[in-house]
A and B are shown apart, each in its own frame.
Chain A
Amino acid sequence: MIDVEFRNISKTYNPGLFKKKVLAVDQLNLRIPQGQVFGLIGPNGAGKSTTIRMLLGLIRPSQGTILFRGAPLDITTMQHEVGYLPENPYLYDHLTLRELLAFCGTTSGLSRTVTTQRGDALLERLELTVAAKRPLRSFSKGMLQRAGICFALLHDPALVILDEPMSGLDPLGRKMVFDLVMELKERGKTIFFCSHILSDVERLCDRIGIMVGGRLVDEISAADFAQQLKATVALELDGCSAALRDRLNPLVEEIEAKNERHTVTLLPGNLYPVIELIREHGATVVSCQSAQVPLESHFFRVVKGVAQ
């Protein structure tokens, strides 16, 4: 079942008097099936946040239709089903996190007991229990981000929209949020995820869309992506003889000579036979590393292609 569908969506807005109209989103067609993690990436100003805001009913599309579970978007239904974390959430300075969660529980129709139970679980999960009664203005950036996640997830939404959830988090916080998203994924939640941290997108998402200049220029599933992009491994060899190079040639993508050493680039699937050959010929592996960050290079290639 398709949870969210953007059909031919465009959004133009007027930045002010005597200024040219801006086309923020252009002919967007996108389908997010239920239970899938969809990652939307793109440079700043690509239209990712505008897309999210249209889905939340905060702005209206200039053209096209948004469908939620097959029916035209009804904001009231959507509000009950969605949990939203905006980029850099600004929460009420003088409230405590407990009070904020109580507000969230009331507006989401939860009883006080359920609100407290779920709130406690989330606070513990995101390590905010100690800070729950402190005013939010005393929170660090990372704590505010985690507080925003609590606010988004308290009513156990079916669709979770996360706009830059890792922004401002330290490595521990990132891991915490990463694990939480993985858990939501395992529980079958539909997740719409925007991030500039491509390694996270790559690891978390089932499908990835690349948006540039308001257009969805590429959409790929994680499985296809792994095949298409041919993630490679680079081995730096010492004592790589001509005979070894001849034997390696059919198994590797590239052999490059550098000073006395050779760098051999190969697909991860060929690693085992290549290592066997290297051992047979008495050469030494000096270093081994992933030759490229697949999504990153793909992203750069796509964005550059659009720019040209």
Chain B
Amino acid sequence: MRNSVALAKITFLEGIRNRSLFGIALFSLFILGLNIAIAGFFMRDIGKVSVDMNMSALTFAGILLIFFVGLNLITKDIDKKTIQLVLSKPISRFEYIFGKYIGIVFFTLFSLTLLLAMSCVTLVVLMHFNADYFFDFSWINYFLAAFFVFVKFALLTAIVIFFSSIATSAFVALICSLSVYIVGVTIEDVIFYLRSEIAIQEKVVSASLERFLDVIAYLIPNFSVFDLTMEAAHGLLITPDRVLWSLLYASVYIALLLLAAAVIFARREFF
């Protein structure tokens, strides 16, 4: 555990000092600033649109953080052979995988927390000038939605780690992880449509393709589980059950992915 923490620490420092982080932060701040600038166009929906835009900014920043910085934090080790130096120390391959994961997750958490603080400032400013349109706004829902954005990226990090343990290049790991993310975000809507009456009547897809999509739906994590933007925007009730089940769902996936990555990584050779 001590080794994993030591590795997590240097991974976190390496990530947090990466220059691309500034670019991502600036871009997110631009979106948040834009939120203040254009909120006035939405009249009664200012509250909902603001929450929606802030969550989108956080999600977009998270995607960039994971794919531009997080992914590099592990694949660069393999590409540049730094891993040979690290694994020559008394550190097991499982500790390496776990340490890298924790490091990237903390890096994402730190970055998202900063952006969340900024987004709160924009909301406070907008609420100050348009208090009437924030009557159903709940800070608890807002923070829960932001927390689940983080949970989503903790799961995405596990996916990135999993593919990095298999792939021989950073590009392959990127493509695989990105594909899983896109499928994971959209799969619920696709399945929902395929099970709708219209789709059944018109036989949109063949039975075999439908079975294939069912299998994919079970294999690929459903990222829309973690999307609480609508609840946050409309001030809807988020039940403790939903929070707990979503957390359990993410935890099981993360554990399985890290375990698989560790097993694959233990067999891998570093030429």
Contact = CB atoms under 8 A, between A and B. Distances in A.
B211 interface: no
Given A90-B81, A99-B10, A99-B13, A107 B271 contact: no
Most buried by B among A60, A94, A100, A102: A94
A79 B80 contact: no
Given A53-B271, A94-B14, A82 B3 contact: no
B89 A94 contact: no
B88 A56 contact: yes
A92 B88 contact: no
A93 B88 CA distance: 19
Contact of A107 (B3, B17, B18, B81): B3
B14 A93 contact: yes
Interface in B1-59: 2-3, 5-7, 9-10, 13-14, 17-18
Contacts of A94: 13-14, 17-18
A57 B271 CA distance: 11
Size category of the binding interface on chain B: 20 to 34
Contact of A148 (B2, B85, B92, B270): B85
Interface string A114-148: 00000000000000000000010000000000001
B82 interface: yes
Given A76-B90, A108-B90, 7 more contacts: A56-B87, A90-B80, A91-B82, A94-B13, A94-B17, A106-B2, A106-B6
Interface of A: 13, 50, 53, 56-60, 76, 79-80, 82-84, 86, 89-95, 99-100, 102-104, 106-109, 135, 148, 151-152
Interface of B: 2-3, 5-7, 9-10, 13-14, 17-18, 80-82, 84-85, 87-92, 269-271
23 contacts: A13-B269, A53-B271, A59-B269, A59-B271, A84-B88, A86-B84, A86-B85, A89-B85, A90-B82, A91-B85, A92-B10, A92-B82, A94-B14, A95-B13, A95-B14, A99-B10, A100-B10, A103-B9, A106-B2, A107-B3, A107-B6, A107-B89, A107-B91
